[in-house]
């Protein structure tokens, strides 16, 4: 079985960032949130759970 290393994942994500917006878990004021990142250095690779679901980034509640 072959597994990707953190370095492999960082290299792949850096390549994606050249053409796409990459949304990843990142530390924002002591909270782990999904947000657009410009560098793999911003990504929180070691976390157990984010404080807000990824769907909150994509599915914004309509103003009622």
State which H helix or E strand residue 31 sits in. Answer: strand 31-37
Predicted TM-score (pTM) of this structure = 0.74
- What are the extents of the domains in the chain? 6-58
**pLDDT tens, N- to C-terminus, the chain (64 residues):** 788 899 999 999 999 999 999 999 999 898 898 899 999 999 999 888 887 788 877 777 776 6
Handedness of CA 28, 33, 39, 44 (dihedral sign): positive
């Amino acid at each position: 079985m072959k597994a990707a290393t953190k370095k492999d994942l960082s290299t792949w994500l850096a390549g994606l960032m050249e053409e796409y917006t990459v949304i990843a878990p990142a530390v924002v004021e002591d909270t782990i949130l999904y947000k657009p990142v410009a560098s793999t250095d911003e990504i929180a690779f070691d976390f157990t759970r984010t404080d807000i679901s990824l769907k909150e980034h994509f599915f914004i509640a309509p103003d009622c």
